[in-house]
Structure 1
């Protein structure tokens, strides 16, 4: 992979990293909510989202031929996670929803 290609991915890598952090934080906070049973889907999506974002970072950093496909899937999962988080009023969910939206947009830009 050329250094120029790596530079092209920097914004998306940063958005994915921020999304991983936000999703992990959201899941941890959701587990502490009084009615945790109402947060099960949010927690599960936070986990899925953090994992696909980590994979996307690895594929971009390594210059994989499959970056576009992984970033498309990452964007799809980020959108679903962001939509779920947006349904909850807690700050950690709202912050996660925003990070997911930013990551989805960055991944869609890379995927083309």
Structure 2
């Protein structure tokens, strides 16, 4: 598959990485930071794998399905954690994660 065929996935990956980075930064400013620890950790994991897969797709990686499968798992884990928190940044991040997980599953 070419870069153009992955345009929708690339967009979802980018939006998810941006949402995770925003959530990560906002979580660090929350009052009860201990309660946000798992959210912060998963935001990092998720932003990193999404950014990596976005780059890998742009250079036509032969490992699309393997990477997309791992990315979907991490996005779902991050989305499930973010969903537990009432903060607006967490809810928006969860939405982006679930959307990205779905896009990843479509190519995995």
Q: TM-score range by the shorter chain?
A: over 0.9
The question of 1:77 aligning with 2:74 is answered: yes
Question: 1:75-110 CA distances to partner (integer Å, 9 max, x unpaired)?
Answer: 000000000000000000000000000000001111
Calculate the aligned-residue CA RMSD, in Å.
Answer: 0.8
Distance 1:6 1:21 in 2: 20
Stretches (4+) displaced over 3 A: none
Structure 1: give runs of 5+ residues left out of the alignment.
none
Distance 1:57 1:106 in 2: 12
Distance 2:69 2:56 in 1: 12
Report the structure, 1 or 2, having the larger helix content: 1
The question of 1:93 aligning with 2:95 is answered: no
Q: Give the superposition deviation at 1:20.
A: 0.4
Q: How many residues in Structure 1 have an aligned counterpart in Structure 2?
A: 108
Write out aligned runs for 1:29-108 (5 A): 29-108=26-105
